[in-house]
Amino acid sequence: MIKPIDLSLSPMLQNKIDNLNKPKGSLGRLESLALQIALIQHSASPVLQHPCHLLFGGDHGIEREGVSASPREVTWQQLINYGKGGGGINMFCRQHHFSLRVIDVGVDHQFDLTENSHITDRKIAYGTKNFCYEAAMSAEEYQRALDIGAEQAEICFNEGCNVLSVGEMGIANTSPSSILMHLLLKLPLEKCVGAGSGLTKSGIRHKYEVLSKAVEKFNRCSNKDDINFIIRYFSGFEMVAAIGAMLKAAEKGMIVLIDGFIMTACALAASKLDPNITGYTVFCHQGDEGGHKLMLEKMNASPLLHLGLRLGEGTGAVCAYPLLQSAVNMLNEMDNFAHANITKYF
């Protein structure tokens, strides 16, 4: 169980922030971010330690319906590429000193783990089933994916990590993300479906039609309102593992960095399982995927960046990390009016 954020230090922390030698509120979003981090750590002098990035990989049965511009094999090819250091997430993790863990939870490929020792093998199956016809995964597979995500977050915590970001690699995973947004926020499906990795207008229309039929079939299920059933019926293994990691990280009191559209959908699902997670999540980036801005608004989430990224992998979350460091440095290193002998003019 995730503990609710203890707000008892809020007045003292806000007073500290307001009395730093700057106009009140002049550092904007950094001030609210500093307050959130300090509340998570229950400290007026928070620290960021050993940031880690978990990247889960998995394939999707729905990909067989032609809902993605990218071919299925890109999932396993990219997981191999991460071992060569050539991915976008590799670059950003190096730049911002994140420890990167790549975990196969459901990729449709048999990896040579001797040649690809960077991949942690937690494969549940060779991709999910096609949710046009049946649930993407069984109840047992769903629980296993949650457990794997929690296991990986705990490994990071035991290494001294208190900032965890989560990313994904799974061709076609904007499709289940759109459906989670649709069902969990009660929004029209057409507002939730976008171009993914580069679909044309006709491709988006086809994707919408495929997903509409899948949802129509799902809505005939007797337990269609059960949150766990919704998640396992549509999600990929990499998405459920991400949900498990987010929940465990918050349980451990870690800051949880949320990336783009897919990880926002996972954070949404996690919040339906335990609403207390919201105090620990920092939404890092608003992407250009159709529906992402709307989903963030409905979740009352204020993203730190809007750079037009749509790569996935968790790149937006890692890119935003320096802003967390700036917020912490502001709280710990800026002087106050009294000590600096500056007239307080408000």
Q: Which residues are catalytic?
A: 313
CB 123 within 8 A of CB 55: no
Q: Token digits for 260?
A: 């783009």
Assign 344 to helix, strand or coil: coil
Residue 100: exposure state from Cβ atoms within 10 A (0-12, 13-18, ≥19): buried
CA dist., res. 163 & res. 153, Å (int): 10
Query: Containing H/E element for 167?
Result: strand 163-169
CB 92 within 8 A of CB 126: no
CA dist., res. 252 & res. 1, Å (int): 10
CA dist., res. 305 & res. 45, Å (int): 25
Q: To which residue do tokens 């800026």 refer? A: 334
Query: Count of CB atoms within 10 A of residue 225's CB?
Result: 10
CA dist., res. 256 & res. 267, Å (int): 10
Q: Nearest 5°: CA angle at 295, between 63 and 163?
A: 90
